[in-house]
């Protein structure tokens, strides 16, 4: 395979693009630049979303509504939820790592549609800024990230419309990204690279992108209808005009339940990349891992109504969705057991990347178990819309996805920048985050069980102490970002040089220089048929890295 | 050994740690039974996984000076089958069990109008959801002594109003006699609200444009909060009321006192 | 960037080369159409649910007239065929014929839009009259938007095919193929829409 053959199509010579750090502010077509753009942009939004979360936790330190007016509180929590989901988790686990890694993994020099890719990214900053500025200009949306009508129809229209517009833009970005990933994985694969030889992250992204393409458009359609209700006074979801509010909920959750897997499947993929490298062991049960991703994709599409158990759905429907939802635990469980089996018998370096990955496993199992509990209708009837649910999903989105994002940053930072992060700061970061996180969200289970609803600025005095405990946890989480920020910024300038492959990893992105050249490899793209072949050829470790073409023959014969 | 200890510990904590508020309706004890089972399974799974991860991290950590690789284990089919089958069985059990629980709570009952039957003008109206009640549907035919108490609930930003068709009482607080089934018909004037009494373990959205039914039987006298659990605007957090569960006598007294007061303005 | 081509990998060169990116663009378009189809699916689902659970008061029920939408269906189906002809003509390197078929297709699209407009004006209900009215206009309007876009695309392709030197040739078929695929998709959606909205 020659260079020419895998040069991506139709773009202006990349040498014409800005060099150095300036390229990160340009309409770059390089998938690595776009990946970093996604990552940094997402992280900035995370800080804003986190600042809003801090405001929420400050308000909740006292049982009365004193820190901010009640309608502002609703705006803050709406912005917090929307920003964290649509501007932080989704763009980062999909856009950032997907863009950076997928072309390497399939042995391509760029994504299938570089220009579409750049467009998808550049939709995000304006959408995000629009969303945030709505707070200052017109007042943000205040009906929660779910925007249930008729509340979203009767609250001030300007903020809600801006919210709809920016979510539409972000959804569009997500769909473009999804199509691009599917095309890259299926069509741009290097010749002779079989699907079942791809690193697990590719499978995760394939599954995620299928979900994106199938479900996001439904959200778009729904929000268009909702905006008609607001602007043109149609009555789709407006009961006073004969509309039906439950239909909105069905359509919304048809997207938003798959959306939770859009947030977590790529994270599953990333963990599958990080763990084998640092355990020096092959990923356990590759094939079942692939099947379980696909099972999650299929099941994920048919469980949405578990968010609506108290909404007046017919009993048979509740029953069906209970069973379907519970069964998601099976493929998800397979993944977790396989990760534990990957740890088992390894030679684990207890570095920050591994710590965050293992933190993820622990947190997610707890979040998943509460999820399965929530899936049981009779159980959910008591705790629906309480802090129990808040605890459930923060265990998953923060304890799961965000932990994985941190883990991945520790793992791939040397590749991104060519420099190492400081290990000590990384461990400090992990310890404070882990303690703060559990302190913040574990007590919320109790709050929910005992009668504290969510989305309230004021609550019964008997919950004050536990809420303060939770706020202390949030404070710790806020503090924990400091060592991290200091670490990533200072290491970019004076961290020790990493070398091309500091972890001695076998996946293709490590078989090139750090940071990689514009075309990903100076020579031809390596063919990696065993991305997890650790421990297989002890003595050939290094020869495989350097002398790919000889290895190629051997591996082909073995297959 | 370790597994047995784990299971024993899980069962023990399921039986002895109860973070729930007191149970004040007939379906609360049923709920708590489910909770105990879920809690036990959850604890066993969580502590088990936690133990496995922590153990592996310690046992298999890289010793200084060791730069080799781990064993090249790529998978193990029997193991995969085991950890597919076991969760599947657990989940199936949990699902069927919670179905049984739901059935006992009355969730699978067809939603009859219960005590509202006398108002047959509204028979046309569609009922959308909620929780039926075994007691009510049985007593409709046979036992008249515990025929359900009908209440009409109206939710609006930001209050609940309770209307007792019998006696035409309108009240901001819900008064119910303990031991008697209550059947509530709930409507909303504006946005979606939710009627939640943590001590009853019951919640039902109150949906504009659609009537929902909620049946329950209070058991323990006391004052419990009624909480709106669905975001409904700025004062959503303040949308609270109280349900007063009284023994039948004091309920009767309350009813007499108020029924009269309400009737006078109607007659004048 | 050095170009190195090792001899033993020669055989790989015979494999389909990523350079033929027309393939991938069509693949991407299919992905987009699936997404677009899901938007419609959401609308259809909403409409059917409304219909099933929100019965209208008898005086608000209005039987839609069939002749005009039937004509519309025929217009679109025929236009799909004519577009197919245009593609065939291009295959036979008959650019003139291809252009003719294209302009006929565009004309049919335009006719559809006009007839749709006409229907809108003759309908006795407006956008906000009731749930059905709203859903009716949302569905047909969203579809009409697609037809408008499609017609514009056809006109552009036609214009490019006309231009001397021929931007659209048998070698550069992608724009035409993309437009054609999109057009068939829009027609297919219309058939479903026609069945659900007018016949059911
Ligand atoms: C990334 C995000 C994410 C993920 C992955 C999940 C995963 C799951 N979620 Fe969660 N969920 C949310 C994000 C997420 N959720 C959010 C944001 C909300 C609130 C939305 C809102 O209202 O604002 C929510 C709400 C929510 C509800 C509605 C609660 C309510 O509002 O009343 C329910 C109910 O069924 C639920 C269930 C589940 C289940 C069963 C899983 C399963 O996928 C979990 C499966 C995993 C495991 C079970 C752990 C590992 C498995 C094993 C170790 C095997 C053994 C296990 C068993 C045998 C049980 N979730
Ligand atoms: C998807 C991801 C995600 C993430 C990562 C988080 C992270 C956090 N969330 Fe989030 N949360 C949601 C998604 C998420 N949340 C959603 C979807 C809702 C539901 C919204 C709704 O009901 O509609 C919600 C709701 C929600 C509530 C319930 C509000 C209510 O119902 O009334 C609470 C309360 O404690 C909370 C707290 C937190 C905290 C403390 C964090 C912490 O982990 C945050 C930690 C991070 C920081 C603390 C940042 C630190 C940095 C700074 C402070 C510096 C600031 C600097 C600059 C601005 C330059 N969240
Ligand atoms: Cu009413 Cu919240
Ligand atoms: Cu869900």
- ipTM of the complex model: 0.89
Supply the pLDDT for residue B141: 41
Asked if A273 and A199 count as a contact pair (C-beta separation under 8 A), the reply is: yes
For residue B185, the surrounding DSSP H or E stretch is strand B182-188
| Largest CA-CA distance found in chain B, in angstroms, rounded | 97
In chain A, which residues have their Cβ closer than 8 Å to the Cβ of B33?
none
Per-residue DSSP letter, A458: -
- Asked whether residue B179 carries a pLDDT value surpassing 70, the answer given is yes
Per-residue DSSP letter, C16: P
Q: How confident is the model at residue A389 (pLDDT cuts 50, 70, 90)?
A: very high
Q: Which domain holds residue A249?
A: 26-558
Q: What is the mean pLDDT of residues A68-74?
A: 90
What tokens appear for A451 in the block? 């009668």
Asked if C80 and C187 count as a contact pair (C-beta separation under 8 A), the reply is: yes
Among A354-358, A448-452, B31-35, C5-9, name the one with the lowest average pLDDT.
Answer: C5-9
Domain locations in chain B as residue ranges: 2-59+78-104, 115-258
Nearest chain A Cα distance for residue C35, angstroms: 5
Which CATH number do you get for residue A129? Answer: 1.20.210.10
- Asked whether residue B144 carries a pLDDT value surpassing 70, the answer given is no
Question: What is the C-alpha separation between A175 and C107, in angstroms, rounded?
Answer: 32
Q: What is the mean pLDDT of residues C7-34?
A: 60
State chain C's mean pLDDT as an integer.
80
Q: What is the distance in A from the centroid of ligand 2 to the CA of A263?
A: 15
The number of CA neighbours under 13 Å toward the Cβ of A236 is 34
What tokens appear for B7 in the block? 């299971």
Q: What is the pLDDT of residues C46-102, one digit of tens each?
A: 888 888 777 666 666 667 778 888 888 898 899 989 988 888 888 887 778 888 888
Q: How confident is the model at residue B136 (pLDDT cuts 50, 70, 90)?
A: very low
Decide: helix, strand or coil at residue A490: helix
Residue showing tokens 């707890």? A366
Q: What is the mean pLDDT of residues A381-404?
A: 93
Q: What is the pLDDT of residues A521-547, one digit of tens each?
A: 887 778 887 888 887 764 444 444 444
Q: Do A459 and B225 touch (CB under 8 A)?
A: no
Q: How confident is the model at residue A7 (pLDDT cuts 50, 70, 90)?
A: very low
Please tell me the residue having the least CA distance from ligand 1 atom 37: A371
Domains and CATH numbers, chain C: 70-200 (1.20.120.80)
Residue showing tokens 């048979």? A316
- Asked whether residue A548 carries a pLDDT value surpassing 50, the answer given is no
What tokens appear for A239 in the block? 């009961």
Question: What is the C-alpha separation between A493 and C111, in angstroms, rounded?
Answer: 64
Supply the pLDDT for residue A544: 43
In chain A, which residues have their Cβ closer than 8 Å to the Cβ of C22?
none
Q: Residue A383 domain-assigned?
A: yes
Supply the pLDDT for residue B133: 52
Specify the long-range contacts of residues C121-128, CB closer than 8 Å, at least 24 apart: C124/C62, C125/C62, C127/A232, C127/A234, C128/A232, C128/A233, C128/A234, C128/A235, C128/A241
Q: What is the pLDDT of residues A123-154, one digit of tens each?
A: 999 999 999 999 998 888 889 999 998 899 98
The residue of chain A nearest to residue B63, with distances taken between CA atoms, is A347
Q: Do C12 and A1 touch (CB under 8 A)?
A: yes
- Asked whether residue A2 carries a pLDDT value surpassing 90, the answer given is no
Q: Do B71 and A245 touch (CB under 8 A)?
A: no
State chain B's mean pLDDT as an integer.
79
**Residues C153-189, buried b or exposed e (16+ Cβ, 10 A)?**
bbbebbebbbeeebebeeeebebbbbbbebbbbbbeb
What tokens appear for A53 in the block? 């979360």
State chain A's mean pLDDT as an integer.
87
Q: What is the mean pLDDT of residues A95-102?
A: 93
Q: What is the pLDDT of residues A210-234, one digit of tens each?
A: 999 999 999 999 999 999 999 988 8
Pocket test for ligand 2, best of A51, A59, A84 (most atoms within 8 A of CB): A84
Q: How confident is the model at residue A75 (pLDDT cuts 50, 70, 90)?
A: very high
Q: What is the DSSP secondary-structure string of A100-169?
A: HHHHHHHT-SS-S-HHHHHHHHHTHHHHHHHHHHHHHHT----STTTT-TTHHHHS-HHHHHHHHHHHHH
Asked if B156 and B195 count as a contact pair (C-beta separation under 8 A), the reply is: no
Q: What is the pLDDT of residues C161-196, one digit of tens each?
A: 877 666 677 677 788 888 989 999 999 999 999 988
Of residues C1 and A505, the one with the higher pLDDT is: A505
The residue of chain B nearest to residue A366, with distances taken between CA atoms, is B46
Q: What is the mean pLDDT of residues B59-85?
A: 81
State if residue B169 touches ligand 3 by the CB under 6 angstroms criterion. no
In chain C, which residues have their Cβ closer than 8 Å to the Cβ of A5?
12-13, 17-19
CATH code, B115-258: 2.60.40.420
State if residue B232 touches ligand 3 by the CB under 6 angstroms criterion. yes
Per-residue DSSP letter, C176: H
Provide the residues around ligand 4 (an ion) whose CB is within 5 A.
Answer: A 257
Supply the pLDDT for residue B78: 84
Question: What is the C-alpha separation between B96 and B213, in angstroms, rounded?
Answer: 25
Q: Residue A512 domain-assigned?
A: yes
Q: Work out whether strand B211-216 and strand B127-131 pair parallel, antiparallel, or are unpaired.
A: parallel
Mutation to test the B interface, candidates A74, A322, A381, most B Cβ within 10 Å: A381
- Asked whether residue A6 carries a pLDDT value surpassing 80, the answer given is no
Q: How confident is the model at residue A13 (pLDDT cuts 50, 70, 90)?
A: very low
Asked if B136 and B114 count as a contact pair (C-beta separation under 8 A), the reply is: yes
Within 8 A by CB and 6+ apart from A442, the residues are A391
Of residues B16 and A322, the one with the higher pLDDT is: A322
Supply the pLDDT for residue B105: 80
What tokens appear for B255 in the block? 């009813």
Order of all β-strands in the sheet with B149-156: B127-131, B211-216, B182-188, B149-156, B159-164, B169-171
Residue showing tokens 């988790």? A89
Within 8 A by CB and 6+ apart from C74, the residues are none
Of residues A200 and C98, the one with the higher pLDDT is: A200
Question: What is the C-alpha separation between A18 and A23, in angstroms, rounded?
Answer: 5
Question: What is the C-alpha separation between A100 and A274, in angstroms, rounded?
Answer: 15
Nearest chain A Cα distance for residue C125, angstroms: 13
Asked if A47 and A481 count as a contact pair (C-beta separation under 8 A), the reply is: yes
Q: Do C6 and A6 touch (CB under 8 A)?
A: no
What tokens appear for A111 in the block? 């994504």
Q: What is the mean pLDDT of residues C147-154?
A: 92
- Asked whether residue A514 carries a pLDDT value surpassing 60, the answer given is yes
- Asked whether residue B114 carries a pLDDT value surpassing 70, the answer given is no
Closest C-alpha to B130, from A315, A119, A27: A315
Q: What is the pLDDT of residues B2-25, one digit of tens each?
A: 777 777 777 777 777 777 888 888
- Asked whether residue A209 carries a pLDDT value surpassing 60, the answer given is yes
In chain C, which residues have their Cβ closer than 8 Å to the Cβ of A108?
18
Closest C-alpha to B43, from B20, B18, B82, B9: B9
- Asked whether residue B112 carries a pLDDT value surpassing 90, the answer given is no
Please tell me the total count of domains within chain A.
1
């Amino acid at each position: 395979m020659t260079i020419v053959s895998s040069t991506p199509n139709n773009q202006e010579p990349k040498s014409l693009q800005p060099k150095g750090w300036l390229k990160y502010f340009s309409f770059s077509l390089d998938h690595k630049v776009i990946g970093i753009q996604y990552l940094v942009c997402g992280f900035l939004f995370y800080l804003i979303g986190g600042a809003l979360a801090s405001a929420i936790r400050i308000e909740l330190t006292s049982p009365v509504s004193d820190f901010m007016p009640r309608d502002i509180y609703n705006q803050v929590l709406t912005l917090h939820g929307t920003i964290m989901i649509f501007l932080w988790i989704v763009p980062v686990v999909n856009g950032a790592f997907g863009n950076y890694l997928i072309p390497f993994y399939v042995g391509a020099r760029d994504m299938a549609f570089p220009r579409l890719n750049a467009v998808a990214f550049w939709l995000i900053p304006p959408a995000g800024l629009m969303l945030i500025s709505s707070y200052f200009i017109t007042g943000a949306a205040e009906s929660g990230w779910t925007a249930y009508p008729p509340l979203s129809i009767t609250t001030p229209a300007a903020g809600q419309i801006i919210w709809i517009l920016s979510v539409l833009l972000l959804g569009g970005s997500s769909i473009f990204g999804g199509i691009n990933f599917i095309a890259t994985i299926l069509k741009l694969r290097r010749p002779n690279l079989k699907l079942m030889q791809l690193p697990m992250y590719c499978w995760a992204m394939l599954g995620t992108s299928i979900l994106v393409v199938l479900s996001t458009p439904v959200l778009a359609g729904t929000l268009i209808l909702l905006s008609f209700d607001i602007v043109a006074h149609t009555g789709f979801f407006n009961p006073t005009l004969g509309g039906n509010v439950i239909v909105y909920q069905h359509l919304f959750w048809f997207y938003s339940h798959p959306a939770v897997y859009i947030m977590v499947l790529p994270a599953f993929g990333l963990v599958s990349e990080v763990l084998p490298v640092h355990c020096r062991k092959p990923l356990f049960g590759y094939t079942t891992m692939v099947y379980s991703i696909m099972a999650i994709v299929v099941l994920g599409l048919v469980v949405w109504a578990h968010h609506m158990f108290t909404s007046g759905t017919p009993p048979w429907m509740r029953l069906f969705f209970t069973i379907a939802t519970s069964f998601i635990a099976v493929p998800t469980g397979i993944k977790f057991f396989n990760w534990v089996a990957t740890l088992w018998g390894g030679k684990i370096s207890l570095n920050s990347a591994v710590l965050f990955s293992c933190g993820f496993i622990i947190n997610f199992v707890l979040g998943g178990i509460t999820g399965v509990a929530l899936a049981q209708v009779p159980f959910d009837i008591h705790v629906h819309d309480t802090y129990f649910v808040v605890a459930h999903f923060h265990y998953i989105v923060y304890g799961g996805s965000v932990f994985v994002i941190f883990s991945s940053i520790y793992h791939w930072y040397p590749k991104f920048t060519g420099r190492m992060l400081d290990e000590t700061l990384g461990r400090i970061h992990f310890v404070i985050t882990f303690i703060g996180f559990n302190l913040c969200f574990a007590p919320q289970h109790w709050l929910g069980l005992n009668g504290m609803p969510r989305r309230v600025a004021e609550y019964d005095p008997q919950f004050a102490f536990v809420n303060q405990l939770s706020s202390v946890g949030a404070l710790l989480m806020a503090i924990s970002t400091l060592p991290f920020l200091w670490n990533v910024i200072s290491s970019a300038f004076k961290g020790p040089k990493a070398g091309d492959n500091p972890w001695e990893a076998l996946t293709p992105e490590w078989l090139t220089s750090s940071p990689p050249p514009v075309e990903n490899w100076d020579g031809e793209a390596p063919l990696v048929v065993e991305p997890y072949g650790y421990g297989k050829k002890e003595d050939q470790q290094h020869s495989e890295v350097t002398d790919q073409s000889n290895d190629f023959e051997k591996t082909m014969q073995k297959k | 050994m370790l597994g047995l200890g784990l299971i024993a510990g899980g069962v023990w904590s399921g039986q002895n740690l109860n973070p729930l508020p007191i149970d004040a309706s007939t379906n609360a004890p049923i709920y708590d039974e489910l909770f105990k089972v879920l809690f036990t399974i959850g604890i066993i799974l969580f502590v088990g996984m936690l133990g496995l991860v922590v153990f592996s991290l310690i046992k298999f950590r890289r010793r200084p000076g060791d730069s080799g690789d781990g064993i090249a284990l790529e998978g193990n089919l029997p193991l995969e089958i085991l950890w597919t089958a076991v969760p599947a069985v657990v989940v199936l059990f949990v699902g069927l069990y919670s179905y049984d629980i739901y059935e006992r709570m009355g969730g699978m009952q067809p939603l009859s109008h219960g005590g509202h039957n006398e108002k047959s003008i509204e028979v046309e109206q569609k009922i959308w959801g909620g929780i039926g009640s075994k007691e009510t549907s049985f007593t409709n035919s046979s036992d008249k002594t515990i025929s359900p108490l009908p209440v009409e609930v109206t939710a609006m930003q930001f209050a609940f109003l309770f209307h007792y068709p019998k006696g035409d009482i309108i009240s901001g607080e819900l008064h119910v006699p303990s031991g008697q089934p209550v059947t509530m018909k709930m409507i909303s004037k504006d946005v979606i609200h939710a009627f939640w009494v943590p001590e009853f373990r019951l919640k039902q959205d109150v949906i504009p444009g659609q009537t929902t039914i909620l049946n329950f039987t209070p058991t323990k006298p006391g004052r419990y909060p009624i909480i709106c659990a669905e975001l409904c605007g700025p004062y959503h957090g303040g949308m609270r009321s109280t349900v007063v569960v009284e023994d039948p006598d004091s309920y009767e007294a309350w009813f007499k006192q108020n029924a009269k007061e309400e009737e006078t303005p109607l007659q004048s | 960037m050095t170009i190195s081509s090792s001899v033993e990998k020669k055989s790989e060169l015979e494999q389909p080369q990523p350079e033929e990116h027309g393939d991938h663009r069509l693949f991407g378009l299919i992905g987009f159409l699936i997404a677009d189809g899901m938007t419609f699916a959401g609308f259809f689902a909403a409409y059917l649910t409304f219909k099933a659970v929100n019965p209208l008061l008898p005086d608000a029920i209005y039987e839609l007239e069939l002749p005009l939408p039937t004509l519309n269906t025929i217009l679109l189906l025929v236009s799909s065929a004519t577009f197919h002809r245009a593609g065939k003509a291009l295959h036979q390197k008959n650019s003139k014929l291809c252009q003719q078929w294209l302009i006929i297709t565009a004309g049919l699209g335009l006719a559809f839009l006009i007839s749709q407009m006409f229907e809108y004006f003759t309908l006795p209900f407006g956008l906000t009259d009731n749930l059905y009215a709203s859903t009716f206009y949302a569905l047909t309007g969203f579809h009409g938007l697609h037809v408008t876009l499609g017609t514009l695309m056809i006109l552009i392709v036609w214009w490019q095919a006309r231009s001397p030197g021929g931007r659209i040739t048998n070698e550069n078929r992608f724009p035409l193929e993309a437009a054609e695929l999109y057009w068939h998709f829009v027609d297919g959606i219309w058939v479903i829409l026609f069945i659900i909205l007018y016949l059911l």
